[in-house]
Amino acid sequence: MHDRRPDLMFPPQLRSLAGLAILVGLGWALSRDRRAISWRLVGWGLALQLCFGAVVLLTPGAGGFFGAVNDALLRIMGFSDAGAKFLFGDLVFNNIPVGAGTAGGNAPLTPDATQAARAGAYFAFHVLPTIVFFSSLMAVLYYLRLMQRVVHGVAWVMQRTMRTSGAETLATAGGIFLGLMETPLLVRPYLERMTRS
C-alpha cells in the first residue's frame, strides 16, 4: 500500500509554487490588455517577494521585528476600540448582558455574565469608528508631513527596483499590516493622480 496523504503527494513548497503560478496566470487571463503586461515588473515583484520572505524566515530577529511592527499597529488600532467602547459601551462587542427575572414580575433583571444579547450592530459600532479613527490619524500624520516622507522613501526604493510609483507601492505594502478599509486612507492624497493599475 502506498501512503496517500496529501502532504506527501503534493509538498507544501510545490503547493505554494503552484499557487503563485495560478495567481499570475489568473492575472494574465483576466487582464484587459495582455500585451501591456510588463513581465520584467512581474518578475521583479516575485523576486522581491521571495527575497523578503527569505529575510523574514532566515534572518534571526527579522520575524520578531515584523511581529513587533504588527503588534504596534494592532495596538494603535486598539485605540479605536477603546474610543468606540467609551462612546457606545457594550454595543461595540455585541455583549450586552441580559439576566433572568420572573416573567410578569416587577423585579429588576439580574445580569448574568453567561448570557449576552447579540445586538447585531457590529458594523456601525465597531467597523465605522475604526475607519473614522484611522482616517483622522492619517490626516494628522499628513498634516505633520510624516506620511509624505514615508511615501517618498518607499517611492525612492521602488522606483529604483521596480519602476513603480511610491503611492501605488505604499498602498500595496500597507495591505500587509492594515486592512482593506484602512489601506486606501494611507494614500488618499495621491488617489487622484494614480494610474488604474
Contacts (Cβ under 8 Å, ≥6 apart) of 94 = 116, 117, 118, 119, 120, 121, 122
Q: Over 80: is that where the pLDDT of 66 sits?
A: yes
The domain tally of the chain equals 1
Q: Is the residue at 24 inside a domain?
A: yes
Q: Is the residue at 45 inside a domain?
A: yes
Distance separating alpha carbons of residues 169 and 146, to the nearest angstrom: 17
Distance separating alpha carbons of residues 76 and 137, to the nearest angstrom: 10
| Whole-number average pLDDT of the chain | 77
For the entire predicted model, the pTM comes to: 0.58
Q: Are residues 110 and 99 in contact, defined by beta-carbon separation less than 8 angstroms?
A: yes
Distance separating alpha carbons of residues 34 and 54, to the nearest angstrom: 30
Angle between helices 146-161 and 128-143 (to 10 degrees): 90
Q: Is the residue at 165 inside a domain?
A: no
Q: Over 60: is that where the pLDDT of 134 sits?
A: yes
Distance separating alpha carbons of residues 88 and 82, to the nearest angstrom: 10
Q: Over 80: is that where the pLDDT of 166 sits?
A: no
Q: Is the residue at 40 inside a domain?
A: yes
Q: Is the residue at 116 inside a domain?
A: no
Angle at alpha carbon of residue 89, lines to 87 and 81, rounded to 5°: 70
Q: Is the residue at 123 inside a domain?
A: no
- Provide the residue range defining the domain that includes 31: 13-59
Q: Is the residue at 49 inside a domain?
A: yes
Q: Is the residue at 125 inside a domain?
A: no
40-63 confidence digits (pLDDT tens): 888 988 888 888 888 888 888 888
Distance separating alpha carbons of residues 70 and 32, to the nearest angstrom: 35
78-119 confidence digits (pLDDT tens): 888 888 888 887 777 665 555 555 555 555 555 555 655 555
**Coil, helix or strand for 97?**
strand
